[in-house]
Amino acid sequence: MTTHPALKTGATAVVTGGASGIGLAAARRFLGLGLRVCLADRDESALEAAVSGLDAAERVFGQPTDVSDRGSVDRLARAVDDRYGPVAVLMNNAGVAGGGDALSNPEGWERVLGVNLMGVVHGVQRFVPAMVESSEPGLVINTGSKQGITQPPGDTAYNVSKSGVKALTEGLAHTLRARAEGRVTAHLLIPGFTYTGMIARFVPEKPAGAWTPEQVVERMFEGLERDEFYILCPDNETTREQDERRILWTAGDLVENRPALSRWHPDFEEDFARFMETGGS
């Protein structure tokens, strides 16, 4: 089994949104590979519990961080440097939902865009330049969402934020190819239906269709082994083939100049169903 060269014993990883869910599951895997890990999270009590639960002695610590605040991310970077030194792995994973549709909830929009999009910008701009300047391998993983690609109606703010993460990570990968020549790489993790704390607040038990965070992280490592940029995750109710067809239909709205979000437009309901059944043939 091959792994990314940044994932080596003694290297340092920073995981935002690391107190629970996908971030915490990733931290466990990084620790299992011998890395040192800093968990960053806004929820201080959950952060303390997560660090205690990892039981990794001096190889893990928690840093209270609000990724929407550039100054807080600066403090995170200084804390990691003081304790462990240079960072080899950056996982920008912190995320929130509940922003609302295009005509509602200005405060929610600010919160969702601040954490989901600007939080990733802050992490990238604070940590990645040093990774590029170093002579060591580096790895950046940004957590996106299928909603940032297929744009289901409802929480438009969330969709916008995750669309931004996709565009940011694509641009970052292109820049790193030129400036780091493959030594530092960027990847977009695209989870499917995953039972995280964001969902658990509303659904007390894991739905049968959802993956666990550990399954997402397992898929993430498979993608890294294959050097995938787009690490697209299925789940227990959606296959890779279904995801591909939905993505192709979404792209077809632009190419064929259909109404926006035609997948949910009553005039295109039968066409979409037929497309999913036939694969577009």
Residue 223 has a CB neighbour count (10 Å cut-off) of 20
Q: Of 84, 158, 195, 230, which is the active-site residue?
A: 158
Q: Which pLDDT score is estimated for 3?
A: 83
Residue 98: is its pLDDT beyond 70?
yes
The angle subtended at Cα 227 by Cα 179 and Cα 212, nearest 5°, is 120
Residue 10 has a CB neighbour count (10 Å cut-off) of 11
DSSP letters spanning 167-231? HHHHHHHHHHHHHTTTSEEEEEEE--SB--HHHHTT-SS--TTPBPHHHHHHHHHHHHHTT-SEE
| Confidence (pTM) | 0.96
Q: Residue 84 catalytic?
A: no
Residue 258 banded pLDDT, cuts 50, 70, 90: very high
Residue 1 banded pLDDT, cuts 50, 70, 90: low
Sheet with strand 230-232: strands edge to edge: 60-64, 36-41, 12-16, 89-92, 138-143, 184-190, 230-232
The pLDDT tens digits of the residues spanning 215-225 come to 999 999 999 99
**Average confidence (pLDDT) over 86-97:** 98
Share above pLDDT 90 across residues of the chain, in percent, rounded to a whole number: 93
The structural domains of the chain, ordered by start, are: 12-237 (3.40.50.720), 239-281 (no CATH)
Residue 253: is its pLDDT beyond 80?
yes
**Average confidence (pLDDT) over 229-238:** 97
The pLDDT tens digits of the residues spanning 100-157 come to 999 999 999 999 999 999 999 999 999 999 999 999 999 999 999 999 999 999 999 9
Q: Which pLDDT score is estimated for 203?
A: 84
